[in-house]
Structure formats: C-alpha cells, structure tokens
Structure 1
Amino acid sequence: MKMNKIKSVTLIIVLSTISLFAQEKAITESGKTVLLKEDGSWEYVIDSNENKTKEFDFRKTKWGDSVEKVKSSETATIVPEINDPNILGFTGSVAGLEGLIGYYFVNGKLWKGAYIFSETHSNRNMFITDYSSIKNILIEKYGEPIEDNVNWLNDLYADDTSQYGFAVSLGHLNFYCSWEIGDTKIQMVLSGENYDISHRLEYHNESLKKLAIEEQKKASKSDF
C-alpha cells in the first residue's frame, strides 16, 4: 500500500515539472513558428512530421478519450490508490524500461500521457544511456527533435564524462528534448536533485492543456 501511495504522488508531481525545461516559441505575422533561445537568438521551427497521420496520440488512446475508454485500452497493471479523479496510473515496461504510465484528464477528457521511468542503476551514467536510448527511438519515429538541450547549471564535473550521471543527480546537469507532431507536444527530460534522478517522457495536447491550466486555476481559487 505504501508503494502505491508513492506511485500516486509521483504521478501527481509530474503534472507541473517537465515544462520548466522548454524554450519559448512565438508565431510571426506570416504564421510561421520561431524558437526563442536563451541567448536571445531565434530560428524557424520546421515540422517535417506535420502531415503524418496518426492512429493514436498516446499508446492506444486519442486526445479527448474518456476515463473508461482509456481503461479499456490499457493492458498494463493499474495503480489503484490514486485519490485524484483526473489521473489514471499503471505500471509497466516501455522499451525495456520499467516505470509508471500516467493518463491525465480535464473535464473527463484525456489531455496528457506520461511515462515516469523507475529503473535503478548503481552507475548513474546508465540513466543517461536510458535517456539516449529512448531519444533514439523517438527520432526514428518522429524525426529530429525541435529542441535538444544539454544544460549545465554547475560545470564542476563538465570535464569528466565519467561523472555526468552524478552531476545529473546533484542538479548540476539536465537533458531535455521535444517534438511537435500536429496538435501533440512530446517532451522528455532527465534531471535530478539530492542524489535522485528523474527520467520522464510526456505527450500532451496543446489545446486541452490550456483548458487544464484554467481548471487548475479555478480549483486553486476555490480553496480560499
């Protein structure tokens, strides 16, 4: 029961963390999307996958699916003790990595899916290997990412590749990449703090995300 509670908390926390690593984008008057970088420069975003057709948006589901429809589509083991009607959680294996599979709903409609990987490694560099492995799979499926960042917040171990995993666990280093496929944003991040490492992969619908944010604001106001 304690493990299920930990899984529940993990699924809830992932709601708000991954977007911290994204860069800002803007739309020009001509309707083109540009990526605004931290150094003040920018570049056009070319979506080579825009016209690709998709049968599903996340696993065997589509954005807007109901809770019951998602439940019927999933073959992984459900996490029973999640005290949030807007979240469904499952445990399973994805590309050989164990983890949690989260489905997030707004007004009964699916708007986000996430993988929260739970692999453990004595050699922390193996977390970077896992990240690279998943990234390569995504590149094969969706093409090159529109963002592919290696961020050093503290360069103490920047010259020692054998300590990169340790640097991630300290919060000195993080990895982030993202794709945009039609109305779906895909984001993956490897980050850490206090010697713990977190590896997460998220898919969400941009339009329904705005609705989810508005509903969260309403819920926060109702607390007062």
Structure 2
Amino acid sequence: MKKIAVLLLLVLAVSFQVHTETTYIDGFRGLPWGTSRADIIEREGPPLLIDGNDMMYTGLVAKRQARILYELLNGKLVSGTYSFTNEYINKNLYIDDFKDLKIRLIKKYGEPALNNIEWSNNLYKDNPSEWGKAISSGHLAYYAEWSLNETRIILSLHGRNDDITLMLIYVAKEQEKALLNNIFGNTDQDEGL
C-alpha cells in the first residue's frame, strides 16, 4: 500500500511539474492572437498613442524601459513588439542586454531555432571591446528566433548611423503573410526575381 501511495505522489508531482512548465499562451503579454482593440485597452488601459492599426504603451520589461507596441490587422491582435529604450554610453551594454533577454527567453521557451551573430564588416571583429561600436555602425547584428505553435518570437540587436535598436517581436504565424502584405504591399506577385 505504501508503494502505491508513493508511486501516486510521484506521478502527481511529475504531472504538476510538466503542467507548470508549459503554461504560456501563444500571443503577446498574456493575450491570445486575435484579441480585439477594446479587450487590449481594457487590460492595458488607454494607449499613449494610436496610429492606424498600432497602439503604443510604455513600461518596464525584464527590468528595462520599453515601448510596447500592439499591432492589429482587421481589428485583431497579430503582432506585439518591445522596443527597448535604455541608452548607454558604453555601447557594449546593449550586447549584455541582448544576452540577458536571450537567457530569459531560453528559460521560458527553450533553445532558439535560429541564433546568429552576423558581421557585414570585420573592422572591429578582433576587438570585442568595440563590438558595441560595430553594432552602432551597422557592422554587427545579433539575432535569435523561437518558433512556438502559433507564435514566432524574434530578438534582434542591430544598428546604423550611431544608433542601436534592441527589439523583441512576437508575431502570429497564421497572420505573418497578411501582416507583410499590409506593410509592404502584395508579396505574392512575381516581380521577375
């Protein structure tokens, strides 16, 4: 009888652990894809800015200041972006932020499907203390991507003209093509390429 009770407790403990490790919602900030503008506003409050299909808020994300952007298509949530706004004199601190965010995402979603560091110009490649400068010059970019059931998550660090952008983007996979068509026009047309 003791063996059965111990076995039952062990099974319950394992199932509880599995359940708690996978309790995330595909979507953005706990809202599922397809959430209406009204439901987002009910949850987040009035946005700082509404620009067409976009609504912007600000707040702390992973202990960093960020613009929080909700993008809607046909009145439904299809994408969300954190654009981090911390500014550093030491540009290598942006790399530290990228690495910290990546670690947090790995803990939540597992290893990224893509994980790239791309050099377009090797001028600073042999001098890691200048890699932040390389990013701000457009010579270096960091990129990681996760693919969930319904969501693509992209963490990106890039720059140019002495500016650096650190972004975390969540996109509804089902709406990616429609979203791109909305931004860039019809991407189905063959343009002879």
State if a TM-score over 0.5 links the two structures.
yes
The question of 1:171 aligning with 2:141 is answered no
- Which residue is 1:117 aligned to? 84
Q: Determine which of 133, 139, 144 is the counterpart of 2:111.
A: 144
RMSD over equivalenced CA pairs, Å: 1.6
Between the aligned partners of 1:60 and 1:189, the Cα distance in structure 2 is: 21
One-letter code of the match for 2:95? I
| Stretches of structure 1 lacking an aligned partner (at least 5 in a row) | 1-51, 219-224
Alpha-carbon contact 1:60-1:73 (below 8 Å) kept: no
Q: Determine which of 40, 50, 58 is the counterpart of 2:28.
A: 58
SS in 2 for 1:121: coil
Q: Once the two structures are aligned, what percentage of the paired residues are identical?
A: 36
Alpha-carbon contact 1:60-1:74 (below 8 Å) kept: no
Between the aligned partners of 1:179 and 1:127, the Cα distance in structure 2 is: 20
| Shift, 1:213, TM fit | 3.0
One-letter code of the match for 2:119? W
Give me the TM-score of the superposition, normalised by structure 2. 0.80
| Stretches of structure 2 lacking an aligned partner (at least 5 in a row) | 1-21, 187-193
Aligned residue-pair number: 164
Alpha-carbon contact 2:26-2:150 (below 8 Å) kept: no
Between the aligned partners of 1:166 and 1:214, the Cα distance in structure 2 is: 34
The question of 1:130 aligning with 2:97 is answered yes
Between the aligned partners of 1:55 and 1:147, the Cα distance in structure 2 is: 21
Larger Cα-atom Rg: 2
| Shift, 1:60, TM fit | 2.4
CA displacement, residues 142-174 of structure 1 (integer Å, 9 cap, x when unaligned): 011010100000000001010000000000000
Between the aligned partners of 1:67 and 1:73, the Cα distance in structure 2 is: 10
| Shift, 1:207, TM fit | 1.2
Between the aligned partners of 2:113 and 2:61, the Cα distance in structure 1 is: 23
The question of 1:83 aligning with 2:51 is answered yes
Between the aligned partners of 1:165 and 1:113, the Cα distance in structure 2 is: 26
Alpha-carbon contact 2:147-2:153 (below 8 Å) kept: yes
Alignment of 1:1-224 (within 5 A): 52=22, 54-55=24-25, 57-74=27-44, 78-80=47-49, 82-84=50-52, 86-216=53-183, 217=185
SS in 2 for 1:157: coil
- Which residue is 1:6 aligned to? none
Alpha-carbon contact 2:67-2:82 (below 8 Å) kept: yes
